[in-house]
Structure 1
């Protein structure tokens, strides 16, 4: 039997199905080497250095897999620690540019018109991206209470909306930026990239998206 054939057959049955099978795979790998030795051409034996290379390669893969396991465990612990650190935020109001959940309760906005603006308009879009309201707001940095009315003045349906602020100078638009708003933090969850904060209405965002915290009124 040719060495290459024995190697292919052994390799086909030694592909690790999971990191938990490393130990058994290592035993199988040793059996593979034995099989190669038993079936090699005696007139053309494989250089012992080739076996050493194979063994070293498998050992390297084994160590890398174990390292990845440890990193996954560490990441999990850090995620739990992150949630523990953010737990005191639950119940407070976070300021961010995340979408807003409107259910008829006024939402506090923190507009920041562009320097030089003499007028500003709050633009409200629904989840499909359709503009459902445009509302003139004061050109100031003080908070503003948005009551959730559409273009006709009727109450908007309960739902999540994205807000932006258009700044104008002498009738010319000079900026269109997301507007910050306050929403109550209801929960802290573990995410693939770290802890996530769940705001009113199920709006989710990362902790680094929050620019301020305040006690809920």
Structure 2
């Protein structure tokens, strides 16, 4: 049996993200400023060397300045949005970091360690009977049991017909819904797994469970205190 106390949960945080983004924004701003100065110098040289008999139209200068200003503003706006995104990502990580150590309900396999597993079945509309299929990490069906339609929560004891305990490992629970002899559909049941890690990944906050499954926070259907 796995000693869960020896498994240390972790919250992964990219603390340098805000600094990196800020430095990147500052670098981009400096680059834009340098380019703008170069542009002005080029225009000055162009004015000094223009043909006095055929001077450039003033509207052309205005157009060039307006075009450069528009590009400059777009670059600075993009940098600002990136910086804001990094700040929001950090806030989200702080918000979901409290999930570490809790049990999350999601449609994923469960990590069996010899203790009964609580799961929540999902039945097809119109189902009259239902079966529970238990699959191991290889995808093989190790047990098939009848389950009453409408039962909201059930417990898998983790023992076979001879009352032998199944090996520790990852198991998933599927619900077959029948109407008469017709199989309507097969749904993956939701189970509780301990949250071991929460981290930022791009624009998403990812959750890693004790079973090894990784999912987004939006895929978590519920939370409870560990061992409840």
Per the TM alignment, residue 145 of structure 1 is displaced from its structure 2 partner at its CA by 2.2
* Residue matched to 1:6: none
Q: Which runs of structure 1 show a deviation greater than 6 angstroms over 4 or more consecutive aligned residues?
A: none
Partner in structure 2 of residue 143 of structure 1:
154
Aligned residues of 1:163 and 1:178 also touching (Cα < 8 A): yes
Q: Residue by residue, what CA displacement relative to the aligned partner does 1:17-68 show, whole Å, maximum 9, x if unpaired?
A: x724111111111123234334555555432212211211111121122122
Which among 40, 45, 48 is matched to residue 30 of structure 1?
40
Distance 2:175 2:196 in 1: 26
3-state SS of the aligned residue for 1:113? coil
User: Is the Cα–Cα contact under 8 Å of residues 105 and 147 in structure 1 kept in the other structure?
Assistant: yes
Q: How does 1:55-70 map to 2 (within 5 A)?
A: 55-70=65-80
Deviates more, 1:139-148 or 1:63-72: 139-148
CA RMSD of aligned residues (A): 3.0
Q: Distance in 2 between matches of 1:95 and 1:25?
A: 53
Q: How many pairs were matched up?
A: 193
TM-score by structure 1 length?
0.73
Cα distance in 2 between the residues matched to 1:22 and 1:112 = 56
Gaps of 5+ in 1: 1-17
What TM-score, normalized by structure 2, do the two folds share?
Answer: 0.70
